[in-house]
Chains A and B, each alone.
Chain A
């Protein structure tokens, strides 16, 4: 086990942020985060996964999509195609930087974009755009805020429309992981809590350990 080192900061797609963890030789993994509030809820878990995988010799790359995380762009100016193009550019940046085309780990809504990042893809609890849109709308209704600006997420009508129609692509070499509590089709199930539902960021050590094993085996294969 190598000591956990700080991630490196990269820029891609005209000034968007991407962190990288671990070696730049050997297998490389591009990690597509959940969308909207789920991204914040999963941030600690995903950083933990990246550090653990880096310690196993897998280089991990974690882009913030335009309009999310550290991005300087405003979410309400973005289209769905901007996100698809960003994911493609992030994969190209990894390939140019390391000489290795990355495998893709897509978590929740990240799976709606992953077909533009590569063909070898592992998905954790993929969801549909319709479900994410329902969540945004209900959060807005519940909090009494304007449904067009749900919980601080101002989504353009064009992005909302494309999101509502988005489903994970079936093309490519896809492996799907789901939680044991979710009976929708999957290649493998993991015991754990849906951390993307928890308002306070949490971690689940047993789930993280099981995920690291599963992802490392798949990435090394």
Chain B
């Protein structure tokens, strides 16, 4: 499974997106501020679930900005963390 597919599955599970919406997530899909389910509390669960399932550690000062702006930004952040 690609990082993108893993992130789609995590967003679906954490936010309760239906399969169609999760599959439609692409690099340009806006996330924080645009997706109603992704409020600031949901971000906490999303980050912890990404850490647990993708085996990375996310520091507090890395959170925000481009990494949560779009789906592509989130995928790029995770790939950078994994050195992929």
Contact = CB atoms under 8 A, between A and B. Distances in A.
Interface of A: 127, 131, 134-135, 137-139, 141-143, 151, 181-184, 193-194, 197-199, 202
Given A131-B48, A182-B52, 13 more contacts: A134-B48, A135-B45, A138-B43, A139-B41, A139-B44, A141-B44, A143-B40, A181-B10, A193-B13, A194-B49, A197-B49, A198-B14, A199-B42
Nearest to A132: B48
A142 B40 contact: yes
Interface SS majority for chain B: helix
Interface string B58-71: 00100100000000
B40 A197 contact: no
Contacts of B48: 131, 134-135, 138
Nearest to A138: B44
The 6 nearest A-B residue pairs measured at CB = A138-B44, A142-B40, A139-B44, A197-B45, A197-B14, A135-B48
A142 B44 contact: yes
Given A181-B9, A194-B13, A202-B16, A131 B41 contact: no
Interface in B39-57: 40-45, 47-49, 51-53
Interface residues of B, number: 19
B13 A135 contact: no
A202 B52 CA distance: 22
B58 to A, nearest CB: 8
A78 B13 CA distance: 32
A198 B53 CA distance: 17
Given A138-B44, A142-B44, A183 B53 contact: yes
Contacts of B14: 194, 197-198
Interface string B1-23: 00000000110011010000000
